[in-house]
Amino acid sequence: MPTRRIRWGWVAVAALPALFLTYFFAYPLGRILSLGLSEMSIGSTGLQSRLVSVGWFTLWQATLSTVLTFIFAAPMTWAVGRYEFRGRKLAMALVTVPFVLPTVVVGTAFVALGWRESIGAILAAHVFFNVAVVVRTVGSQWRRLDPDLLNAAATLGASPLEVMRRVTLPLLRPSLAAAASIVFLFTFTSFGVILILGGFTFATLEVEIYRQAIVLFDLPLAAALAVIQLVGVSLALYLYSRYQERHSASWELASEDAVPRPAGRARIGVYGSIIGTLAVLAIPLAVLLTRSLGSFDDLFAADLIVGSPVEAIRNSLLTAVAATAIALVIGIMAATFVSHRSGTLSRWFDTTLMLPLGTSAVAIGLGFIVALDWPVDLRASLALVPIAHALVAIPFVVRIVLPTMRSIDPDLRHAAATLGAKPISVWRRVDLPLVSRAALVAAGFSVVISLGEFGATTFVARPNTATIPTLIFRLLSRPGPASFGTAMALSIVLAALTAAVILWVDRFRVGDIGSF
Residues 305 and 181 in one domain: no
- At residue 222, the pLDDT reads 84
Q: Which of 292, 309, 343 is the last residue of a domain?
A: 292
Domain range spanning residue 417? 1-38+296-516
CB atoms within 10 A of CB 164: 15
Instruction: Of 334, 325, 329, 444, give the one whose Cα is nearest residue 399.
Output: 334
What predicted TM-score, i.e. pTM, was given to this entire model? 0.83
Instruction: Of 506, 335, 491, give the one whose Cα is nearest residue 405.
Output: 335
**Using CA atoms, how far apart are residues 9 and 270, in angstroms rounded to an integer?**
56
Residues 12 and 26 in one domain: yes
Secondary structure (DSSP) of 292-345:
HTT-GGGGGS-BTTTB-HHHHHHHHHHHHHHHHHHHHHHHHHHHHHHHH--SHH
- Give me the phi and psi of 307, to 5 degrees please: 120, 170
CB atoms within 10 A of CB 244: 14
Alpha helix segments (H runs only) across 83-146: 88-100, 103-112, 119-142
CB atoms within 10 A of CB 152: 13
Residues 224 and 194 in one domain: yes
Residues 34 and 122 in one domain: no
**Burial (Cβ within 10 Å: 0-12, 13-18, ≥19) of residue 508:** middle
**Using CA atoms, how far apart are residues 47 and 512, in angstroms rounded to an integer?**
50
Residues 244 and 364 in one domain: no
290-309: burial string, b at 16+ Cβ within 10 Å, e else: ebbeebbebbeeebeebbbb
Residues 261 and 300 in one domain: no
- At residue 50, the pLDDT reads 75
**Using CA atoms, how far apart are residues 89 and 72, in angstroms rounded to an integer?**
20
**Using CA atoms, how far apart are residues 76 and 133, in angstroms rounded to an integer?**
12
CATH number of 200's domain: 1.10.3720.10
- At residue 11, the pLDDT reads 63
**Using CA atoms, how far apart are residues 218 and 274, in angstroms rounded to an integer?**
48
Q: Which of 292, 320, 344 is the last residue of a domain?
A: 292
- Give me the phi and psi of 303, to 5 degrees please: -115, 120
CB atoms within 10 A of CB 400: 27
Instruction: Of 456, 452, 458, give the one whose Cα is nearest residue 495.
Output: 452
Q: What single letter denotes the amino acid at residue 352?
A: T
The single-letter DSSP state of residue 358 is G
Share in percent of the chain as helix, strand, coil (round to 5): 80, 0, 20
- Check if the beta carbon of residue 363 is closer than 8 Å to that of residue 460: no
Residues 26 and 59 in one domain: no
**Overall number of domains in the chain:** 2
- Check if the beta carbon of residue 285 is closer than 8 Å to that of residue 95: no
Residues 6+ apart with CB under 8 A from 4: none
Residues 405 and 500 in one domain: yes
CB atoms within 10 A of CB 86: 9
The single-letter DSSP state of residue 253 is P
Residues 104 and 239 in one domain: yes
Q: Which of 268, 292, 316 is the last residue of a domain?
A: 292
Peptide linkage before 375 cis (omega within 30 of 0): yes
Tens digit of each residue's pLDDT, the chain (516 residues): 444 444 545 566 778 899 999 999 999 988 888 887 776 665 555 567 778 889 899 999 999 999 999 999 999 999 998 888 998 888 988 898 898 889 999 999 999 998 888 899 999 999 999 999 999 889 888 887 766 666 676 676 666 777 777 777 777 888 888 889 889 988 998 999 999 999 888 989 999 989 988 888 888 888 888 888 888 888 887 777 777 666 655 555 555 566 778 888 889 999 999 999 999 999 999 999 998 888 888 888 766 567 789 999 999 999 999 999 999 999 988 888 887 766 677 777 877 887 887 788 888 998 998 898 888 888 888 889 999 999 999 988 988 888 877 776 666 666 666 666 566 666 666 667 778 888 888 999 899 999 999 989 988 888 778 899 999 998 888 877 778 889 999 999 999 999 889 888 877 654 433 333
Residues 448 and 300 in one domain: yes
Residues 12 and 154 in one domain: no
Q: What single letter denotes the amino acid at residue 13?
A: V
- Check if the beta carbon of residue 267 is closer than 8 Å to that of residue 87: no
Residues 304 and 277 in one domain: no
**Using CA atoms, how far apart are residues 454 and 473, in angstroms rounded to an integer?**
9
- Check if the beta carbon of residue 143 is closer than 8 Å to that of residue 258: no
